[in-house]
Amino acid sequence: MDLSLTDQQEMVKQAVDDFVSRDASIETLIELQQTERGFSDDMWRTAGELGWLGMLIPEEYGGSNTGYTDAGVLFEALGKGPVPGPFFSTVLAGEIIKELGDDAQKENYLTRIANGSLIATLAMSEPDYQWGIAGVQLIPTEDGEDYILNGEKSFVYDGHAADLIITAVRTGSGDDDISLLLVDTSTPGVSTRKLEGFTSSESSVTFENARIPKSALLGECCAITDGLHAALMRATPLLCAYQVGGAQAVFDLSVQYSRDRVQFGRPIGRFQFVQNHIVQLVIHLDSARWTTYEALWKMDTGRETEAAIHLAKAVTSDGYRQACNYGHEVHAGTGVVREYGLTLYTRQSRSLFHALGEPRYHRKQLAKLMPTLQLDDE
């Protein structure tokens, strides 16, 4: 038993923290939020150079393949920034290609993901929104060696910035008959539009007679649901780690504010109602942290992970959202002044709440495991 970070993990954490304090100040992040892309190409390049995008990619494709906990530490530190950008989307795409791609596809895409020259994402959900493959209704038509796509994918994270969109389409009548297409966003007929509003980086992707070669199929036609599920599950705790980092930052901000803000002649942290907000906040933070890291540890050590991952996502997405709510109770008016920075986190706590499935979805998956669940020590 050892819950400390390894030296290697401490180094990763330090490198991201240094990067954030140097290049990603609150002012910079607020400016970036107003831009069309929402993140900085310089930051993205730096991440590629430092090897952050290749931590889960095999060495033969230029990655370092260091393990999920190491990558979790990276994502926590990014989330603490909060550093915006298509980090998670691209790593998720890498996991899917790693799981389902043939050698040529892996060589082509994984190498470029590892060195930071390819931004990629997954497009599953559609205007009739529901998370999971049941929500995939886009049906391609066949034309010789090509598929023709007409329709829309909604709520695609980082779709507006992506070079490659792994697009889920329905290719048969069975529930599981879906396929994945590797769609280059420069393909004629493919257009993306970043969604306006409280969401942080979601896009709509429209296909108008977009011609996609059948060679762009990822994996066997109609036999990819197990592989897709495995890749999604493996990536989920990394998204959780990003949320843990955000909740940690909200906790740190709230504690500091409880010391600095004076009302009625005393720091507000001396009032027990204010204390209660931070007490609840840190319970959500630590619940998120330890469910997430236990799931990562189970992945790295080849243990049964299904329940741990669903638990982590449910607890963490709820936890980040609640952490921000309590942070706003502590900060009151100050918290909603954009330049203070709290809302950078709040916005992500909302936008990531439903990413890869909202908490209720994951609790439902856990519920379905109940008839057969085995406890670890039995």
Partner 1 sequence: MDFAPSYTPEQESFREEVRSWLDDHAPVIAGDQDSPENYAKFRQLGRDLGQQGWLRPTAPVEYGGGGMGFEETVVLYEEMSRRDLSIPPYYDSGGWLGGASILVWGSDEQKQSLLPPIFKGDVVTWQLLTGPEAGSDLAGTQTDAVRDGDDYIVNGEKIYVGGSNGVDVLWTLTRTDPDGERHKNLSWFMIPADLPGITIRPMDLLGDGGEGVGSGVKNTVYFDNVRVPAERLVGGENNGWQVATTHLELEHGAGGSVARNLWFSRALDWARERQLNGRPLVENSDAQDRLVEIYEKTEIQRLFGIRNFWMNRTHQAMTYEGPQSSYFRKLSGLDITTALHELFGPYALTNDENTDFSEGALDSYQRSAIVSLHPGGTADVQKVLMARRIGMGRSEAERYKAGKTVE
Structure-block tokens of residue 320: 């980040």
Contacting partner 1 (CB under 8 A), which of 2, 36, 128, 339? 2
Contacting partner 1 (CB under 8 A), which of 40, 66, 69, 201? 69
Give the integer Cα–Cα distance in Å for 154 and 103. Answer: 30
Per-residue buried b or exposed e for 37-55, using 16+ beta carbons within 10 Å of the residue's own CB: bbbbeebbeebbeebbbbb
Closest approach of Cβ 2 to partner 1, in Å? Answer: 5
Q: Which stretch binds partner 1 (CB under 8 A): 37-45, 58-66, 135-143, 363-371?
A: 363-371
Closest approach of Cβ 235 to partner 1, in Å? Answer: 19
What is the size of the binding site for partner 1 (CB under 8 A)?
Answer: 47
Closest approach of Cβ 279 to partner 1, in Å? Answer: 5
For residue 127, say if its preceding peptide bond is cis, omega within 30 degrees of 0: no
Contacting partner 1 (CB under 8 A), which of 33, 107, 290, 350? 290
Using CB under 8 A as the binding rule, whether residue 249 contacts partner 1 is answered as no
Using CB under 8 A as the binding rule, whether residue 370 contacts partner 1 is answered as yes
Instruction: Say if residues 121 and 157 touch (Cβ distance below 8 Å).
Output: yes
Contacting partner 1 (CB under 8 A), which of 87, 297, 320, 326? 297
- Give the CA distances from residue 31 to residues 42, 77, 297, in Å, rounded to whole numbers and listed in that order: 14, 20, 36
Q: Please, which residues bridge with residue 123 across strands?
A: 167
Per-residue buried b or exposed e for 298-336, using 16+ beta carbons within 10 Å of the residue's own CB: bbbeeeebebbbbbbbbbbbbbbbbbbbbbbbbbeeebe
Instruction: Say if residues 106 and 61 touch (Cβ distance below 8 Å).
Output: yes
Closest approach of Cβ 236 to partner 1, in Å? Answer: 16
If 0-12 CB within 10 Å is exposed, 13-18 middle and 19+ buried, where does residue 261 land? middle
Contacting partner 1 (CB under 8 A), which of 47, 100, 218, 366? 366
Residues 255-284 that bind partner 1 (CB under 8 A): 255, 258-259, 266-272, 274-276, 278-279, 282-283
Q: Which stretch binds partner 1 (CB under 8 A): 143-151, 175-183, 184-192, 292-300?
A: 292-300
DSSP-derived secondary structure for 7-53: HHHHHHHHHHHHHHHHH--HHHHHHHHHSSS-S-HHHHHHHHHTTGG
Instruction: Say if residues 285 and 323 touch (Cβ distance below 8 Å).
Output: yes
- Give the CA distances from residue 279 to residues 136, 140, 266, in Å, rounded to whole numbers and listed in that order: 41, 52, 19
Structure-block tokens of residue 121: 């994402």
Using CB under 8 A as the binding rule, whether residue 371 contacts partner 1 is answered as yes
Using CB under 8 A as the binding rule, whether residue 296 contacts partner 1 is answered as yes
Q: Which stretch binds partner 1 (CB under 8 A): 97-105, 156-164, 287-295, 332-340?
A: 287-295
Closest approach of Cβ 114 to partner 1, in Å? Answer: 24
Using CB under 8 A as the binding rule, whether residue 100 contacts partner 1 is answered as no
Closest approach of Cβ 311 to partner 1, in Å? Answer: 6
Contacting partner 1 (CB under 8 A), which of 12, 314, 323, 352? 314
Using CB under 8 A as the binding rule, whether residue 373 contacts partner 1 is answered as yes
Give the integer Cα–Cα distance in Å for 188 and 185. Answer: 8
Residues 6+ apart with CB under 8 A from 360: 314
Using CB under 8 A as the binding rule, whether residue 12 contacts partner 1 is answered as no
Binding site for partner 1 (CB under 8 A): 1-6, 69, 255, 258-259, 266-272, 274-276, 278-279, 282-283, 286-287, 290-291, 293-294, 296-298, 307, 311, 314-315, 363, 366-368, 370-371, 373, 375, 377-378
